[in-house]
Amino acid sequence: MLAANPAVKVREIRMGRDSDASVIKPFKIARHEVEPGGRLQFDLPAAQLYTHTPLDMPVEVIHGRRPGPVLLVCGAIHGNELNGVEIIRRLRSLNTLRHLRGTLVLVPIVNLFGFIHQSRYLPDRRDLNRCFPGSEKGSLGSRVANLFFREIARHSTHIIDLHTGAVHRDNLPQIRADLSVAAVKQMAEAFSIPVIVNAGLLDHSLRCEAGRIGIPVITYEAGEALRLDERSIVAGVRGITNVMRMLGMLPARVVPAGRTEPFIARSTTWVRASADGLFRKIADLGQRVGEGDRLGVITSPFNSEEVLVSSPTEGILIGLNNLPLVNEGEALFHVARFGEVAAVEGTIAQHVDDITSDPLYAPETVEDVELGAD
C-alpha cells in the first residue's frame, strides 16, 4: 500500500537574510534538507489508494538561523479532529517565527484518510493513534504510523499532538500529559491553560511510543470533532508559543503577559446516563459543580417522565456530550476533581476573558493573524 514512488512536490521559501547561517547546519528530514533561515514544504508520499491514487502527507519545516530544539506540532491523527489543523495554519503565519531558534516541524493532517472521509479512523476502522510505532509491513494503519514515526516524529526533540473530543463530545481546553516525566511536566505547565490532566499512557499512542524513545510529548485536547471552535484554536496557538518560549525557541515577551497558572486534576470520572431518552444539559463546560448538583435531564419522547442527571462528586466539567439522543450507560459528563475547585473555576473564567480579548481571536483573514501576534 505504501507508495514506492519517492517523487515529492517541494516548495521552498527563503526567509530574509542568512548572513549568520554558518552557525547551524541544514536540517535533514525525510530525504530533504532545509537551510538555516529557510522554510520548506514537502509532501511525504504516505500511501496509495486502491485506485492507485497517491496520498501525500504535507509537511512544513521552518528552520531557524540559530540552534535550538526541534518541535513537532501535529494535528488530525484522528482525521475528524479539525481544531488542530486551524491551530497549525495560524501558527505558521505568526510574525514572531522570524525570531525562531531551532526548528519547527508542522504536520496539520497526519490521518489523511480520516480527514477525507470526515472520520476518526482509517478505512479499515483502525485508530491510527493505537498503531505507533508501526511497521513497514503491517496493516495500512501500521504503515502510515511507521512512516510518520520514522521519517518525521523521530527527528524531533519535543512533540505537541493536537486533538479534540470525539463526535458530539466537547472538551474544555486541557493538556493531557504524563507528569512523572520532568520534561513533559515542564511543557504541560508552560502551555499555560487552566486544566492539566495527568493522563496515563495508552500503548501504541504517539504520546506513549515517542516517550519510550525519550521524546517528551504533550497532548492538547480542546473542542469537538468536526467543528472549529475559536476559543480552543486561540488557546492552542497561544499555548504552543508559550511552550516555544519556555524552550527558548522564541524570545520572551517584552511585557510578560498574564500567565495562567495551571491546576492538575487529581482524578476524573464520567457521569453516565441512567436511562434512555432525550438528554438536555443544564451545566456547561468549565463550570464548577458540587456533589449532587443537577447536570442535565433525560426525558421520554412519549410521556412526561424525567430523570435527573446529577454529579457524583465536586469538580469541574471538562467534557460533555452534545447529542440529545442517549442510551442508558452513555457517557454524558466528564468531571475532574481538584484540590481547589473554586480557584480552578476562577482561572477558567479569567482564561476565557484573556482568549476572547486576544488579538488572535476571530481574525477575518490570515493577515490579521500576522499583525496581531508578534
Nearer to Zn ion, 171 or 198 (CB): 171
Which one-letter amino acid corresponds to residue 9?
K
163 is an interface residue for Zn ion by CB under 5 A: yes
Please answer whether residues 83 and 223 qualify as being in contact, where contact means their C-beta atoms are separated by less than 8 angstroms: yes
Nearer to Zn ion, 68 or 223 (CB): 223
67-106 positions binding Zn ion, by CB under 5 A: 78, 81
What is the C-alpha to C-alpha distance for residues 341 and 312, in angstroms, rounded to an integer?
Answer: 15
What is the nearest approach in angstroms of Zn ion to the Cβ of residue 230?
19
Query: And the C-alpha cell for 211?
Result: 516517550
Backbone conformation region of residue 286, classed left if phi is above 0, alpha if psi is from -120 to 50, else beta: left
What is the nearest approach in angstroms of Zn ion to the Cβ of residue 78?
4
Whether the upstream peptide bond of residue 133 has omega within 30° of 0, thus cis, is yes
Query: What DSSP line would sit under 188-208, residue for residue?
Result: HHHH--SEEEEPPPPTTSHHH
Nearer to Zn ion, 74 or 100 (CB): 74
Taking CB under 5 A as the binding criterion, the range among 5-13, 40-48, 163-171, 230-238 that sits at the site for Zn ion is 163-171
**CA nearest neighbour of 106 among 68, 147, 153:** 153
H or E element in which residue 313 lies: none
What is the nearest approach in angstroms of Zn ion to the Cβ of residue 275?
29
Query: And the C-alpha cell for 112?
Result: 489523511
What is the nearest approach in angstroms of Zn ion to the Cβ of residue 319?
12
What is the nearest approach in angstroms of Zn ion to the Cβ of residue 81?
5
Q: Residues 166-195 vs Zn ion: string with x where CB under 5 A?
A: ------------------------------
Please answer whether residues 93 and 64 qualify as being in contact, where contact means their C-beta atoms are separated by less than 8 angstroms: no
238 is an interface residue for Zn ion by CB under 5 A: no
What is the nearest approach in angstroms of Zn ion to the Cβ of residue 221?
7
> What is the bridge-based pairing of β-strands 315-321 and 306-310?
unpaired
Number of residues that bind Zn ion (CB under 5 A): 3
Nearer to Zn ion, 81 or 189 (CB): 81
First-last CA distance in the chain = 43
Taking CB under 5 A as the binding criterion, the range among 15-23, 159-167, 209-217, 281-289 that sits at the site for Zn ion is 159-167
Taking CB under 5 A as the binding criterion, the range among 32-40, 161-169, 180-188, 284-292 that sits at the site for Zn ion is 161-169
Please answer whether residues 63 and 106 qualify as being in contact, where contact means their C-beta atoms are separated by less than 8 angstroms: no
Taking CB under 5 A as the binding criterion, the range among 87-95, 162-170, 314-322, 348-356 that sits at the site for Zn ion is 162-170
What is the nearest approach in angstroms of Zn ion to the Cβ of residue 163?
3
Query: And the C-alpha cell for 171?
Result: 472538551
Instruction: Return residues touching Zn ion (CB under 5 A).
Output: 78, 81, 163
